[in-house]
Amino acid sequence: MKLRFSPRFYGGIGLLFFSFLIGKGSQLVFFLYLDDIVIRWIAIATYVLSWIPFFLGIWWIGQEYAEAVRKYFSYKFYTSSLRKGTRKVVTKTKQVGGRVKNKVKEKRLQHKVNRANKKSAKRR
């Protein structure tokens, strides 16, 4: 199963990563500058604003991923997959069966030729 996603999906992953970086950076600034109240409020505002790309990224990723995975929970997917697999098995069985059948015919013919040669050798 190979899932291929759109640039929007990968953009959503980028937004999540960006949001985590900004959020952790603002937390770090918040705890490093305990004395300066202005920097602390700026860090709090930045942290709150970092949730916007976080939720947008979740929305973009979730929407596309849900559509990609939803087909695997449908009855139609499994019946078509079962038919496709059954066709492959039947085709392969016919191919192998044909080869085995030809080998058996060759062996029988070889056996008849060998028996005929032995009988003619005994008559001489």
Question: Is 62 found in the same domain as 5?
Answer: yes
My answer on whether 56 and 81 are in the same domain is no
- Domain boundary pick from 56, 73, 90: 73
pLDDT at 86 over 70: yes
Residue range 38-44: average pLDDT? 92
Residues 64 and 87 in one domain: no
Name residue, tokens 């009988």: 119
Across the chain, mean pLDDT equals 83
- Do residues 27 and 85 both lie within one domain? no
Which of 30, 49, 73 delimits the end of a domain?
73
Residues 48 and 89 placed together within one structural domain of the fold: no
Which of 58, 73, 88 marks a domain boundary?
73
**Higher pLDDT among residues 123 and 39, named by residue:** 39
What is the token pair recorded at 9? 């999906």
Span 54-63, mean pLDDT?
Answer: 87
Residue 107: C-alpha distances to residues 24, 62, 97, 117, 120 (Å): 76, 62, 15, 15, 20
Shared domain for 2 and 60, answered yes or no, is: yes
Both 69 and 90 in one domain: the answer is: no
pLDDT of residue 14: 92
The pLDDT of residue 77 is above 70:
no
**In terms of Cα–Cα distance, which of 108, 12, 103 is closest to 59?**
12
Q: What total of structural domains would you count in the chain?
A: 2
Residue 104 has pLDDT above 70, yes or no: yes
Let me know whether 37 and 64 are in one domain: yes
* 64: Cβ contacts below 8 Å, ≥ 6 apart: 5, 6, 8, 9, 12
Average pLDDT in the 3-32 region? 88
Is there a single domain that holds both residue 27 and residue 81?
Answer: no
Range of the structural domain that residue 119 is part of:
77-124
Domain check: are 57 and 81 in the same one?
Answer: no
Q: What is the pTM of this model?
A: 0.50
